[in-house]
Structure 1
């Protein structure tokens, strides 16, 4: 192996540096999934609409984000990650600047769906897929670190945006975000020009083909199962994530307590993601996903029995410690069993299914609350969806072990 091949081999120093830069890019790009939440009251006042109307830009942004994960992932498969980063930076820059000059709610919503949401998609599935090619022994850890950019964005950007809105107004803040995305992401794009060696991809192709043969499923069959599993787990996950603030308000603890619990959940979610990466590198993505699904179900079950203020903090902490590592496991399983040359698109498809699961789960939980005037049935609904997810991932794990047993 030549010196250059050693320098750019999987798990090398360069690979870890690429991970660090990817995390920065992901943290910047994923501002598109959080900014509209922070400015929602200002936008509602500015355009004189109801809360449902003010929520429309968020829905558009998430739909664009789901599409961006697939489209940008496909582009990354064909041309490398540089093109999606450049395109994402331009979309985010243009989207936020145009949002700052919006004269109506429909204009504001449109730029979130067609520009900001799609641009934000660059910072999730495409980056995760790219990182997966640069790690073999520590792939699980690399994938979860790459996926943590969205959580870091959720911790950092709301604070920055809140300050910006208070000091300069929401329009100037949006223009500033657009400029920041261009200034940070475009100069970093050339760093990603190097692509994995052909020998690395060939070895990964052979490994995934053999693993898929042990599983006894075609690539598309496994893809469909993972998409269904991802949708189900995120329907369950959405109940606490979307409704914990309202739940605390209904219990009389106030929305501030609920917001604290949401921050606790997201903060521990980062720890969960990193920890799940260490575990996945030792026992595999499928087994780690089973553990995460079991523990998420346990936390949802505990919500049914404990609604005191202190106990809610504890249960929410437990939920955060286990739910954060679930979604990245689908990317690891895809890299273990599906063709690496299609990783960007396939990871994007499953990530989009999880986003749709979050959107549906948040809505159906609210609908169930309206019907029963209680969140108890909504938690039971989440448990039911979690059991479907657990059944699928347990079946996959047992199928691998059963078919591998004779060998």
Structure 2
């Protein structure tokens, strides 16, 4: 595990909320750029450079593939060196790569820059920061994770809007440079706050040694397959809602405003579903959020007025927001601590891969058909596939719950895995 700072530490109950706040802002800035910040650049890059939307979407996909690959490696590294060093490196790499994007002259340069930003930048931030937050909370982890996820949601709404405004004022090149420099100024000081909690007497002892209701390998396989479909759906509104709204006659800032409003409600949704996971269980909360986004995603394509977009986007955003919180809390609930970090890296890698796949296919389908009907329709079908996999996992957990503890060779407390998160 990472080295523990020997510097005098603030009272843990207070400092853990500083960790939550710092992680929220860092992930807002970094993930806002790497997950869907490029959505504001579709039309400007298409108009000024003549690139197709499928090719432009691949810039974002390159960053997400980088996140998938880098997340596994950086999560492993964060377990072995001081988290502060990993996070600090991630903030610097992210800011420098985005700044350099303003000087790119070809598509391959943007692909390379965003891949590096994802692998060595965002990859060094996402898994390590969520792991760090979890280490500070032995109870109420669902709420803490929800709050940090809410910060990420704020960035995913605010960064595209800021990018749209910067593009209007500075052009797409100037916007990249400005947001990159601002990222460095915001994230680097906050990265210096990252540190592990001080060791507590007896803290190494597990509060529960229950065997899992489902073998960890089975959970990893089902969740990894599920998040491919889940995040492929999720990426479609995140990447293509703004250009869809522009097709209805809205300006860039107006389209960015729709996304911003959606992500504002996502802030509340991520916190709410984190708390819901503490109450009804992580997997049921994850199922609820997944069903919400699946049922509503195709409605976007039925809307053709800017006012209706502003009304509907927050409704969709509140429920969709619980998905990432659900993924993280379900991993915590169903994967034992001894292999949780490695399992998290694998599952989240598939999630970023699905995110990149969905965004790219959305642009490709638009290029082929000239509309977003097929893009959003396939997104809804992907959501149904994810729900089928989650229901399969739920059935396995329930079957494990019904297995007599003596026959399973475990204690009876393992039966609560579906209904509440482990407290550590």
Q: TM-score scaled by structure 2?
A: 0.78
Range that drifts further, 354-363 or 82-91: 354-363
Q: CA deviation at 1:312?
A: 6.7
Check conservation: 2:64, 2:118, Cα contact below 8 A. no
The change in CA–CA distance for 1:243 and 1:36 in structure 2 (over 3 A counts) is closer
The change in CA–CA distance for 1:311 and 1:79 in structure 2 (over 3 A counts) is same
The alignment status of 1:21 with 2:53, answered yes or no, reads no
Range that drifts further, 338-347 or 69-78: 338-347
Which segments of 5 or more consecutive residues in structure 2 lack a partner in the other structure?
1-7, 407-411, 413-424
The change in CA–CA distance for 1:400 and 1:144 in structure 2 (over 3 A counts) is farther
Partner of 2:422: none
Q: Number of residue pairs matched? A: 393
Specify the SS of the correspondent of 2:137: coil
Deviations 1:185-207 (A, max 9, x none): 33333322334526676344x53
CA distance in 2, matches of 1:343, 1:321: 28
Work out which of the residue numbers 213, 216, 222 in structure 2 matches 1:215. 213
Q: CA deviation at 1:128?
A: 1.4
Deviations 1:125-179 (A, max 9, x none): 3211211111122100111111223321122223333343343444344333333
CA RMSD between the two structures: 3.6
Check conservation: 1:62, 1:113, Cα contact below 8 A. yes
Partner of 2:157: 155
CA distance in 2, matches of 1:267, 1:403: 43
The change in CA–CA distance for 1:342 and 1:99 in structure 2 (over 3 A counts) is farther
CA distance in 1, matches of 2:121, 2:204: 31
Partner of 2:55: 53
The change in CA–CA distance for 1:377 and 1:291 in structure 2 (over 3 A counts) is closer
The alignment status of 1:30 with 2:31, answered yes or no, reads yes
Partner of 1:333: 330
Residues 129-278 of structure 1: pairs in structure 2 closer than 5 A: 129-195=131-197, 197=199, 202-204=204-206, 207=208, 209-210=209-210, 213-217=211-215, 219-244=216-241, 253-254=248-249, 261-278=258-275
Q: TM-score scaled by structure 1?
A: 0.81
CA distance in 1, matches of 2:60, 2:300: 29
The change in CA–CA distance for 1:297 and 1:396 in structure 2 (over 3 A counts) is farther
Partner of 1:401: 401
CA distance in 2, matches of 1:63, 1:305: 28
- Considering fraction of residues, name the structure with more helix: 1
Check conservation: 2:32, 2:157, Cα contact below 8 A. no
Which segments of 5 or more consecutive residues in structure 1 lack a partner in the other structure?
none
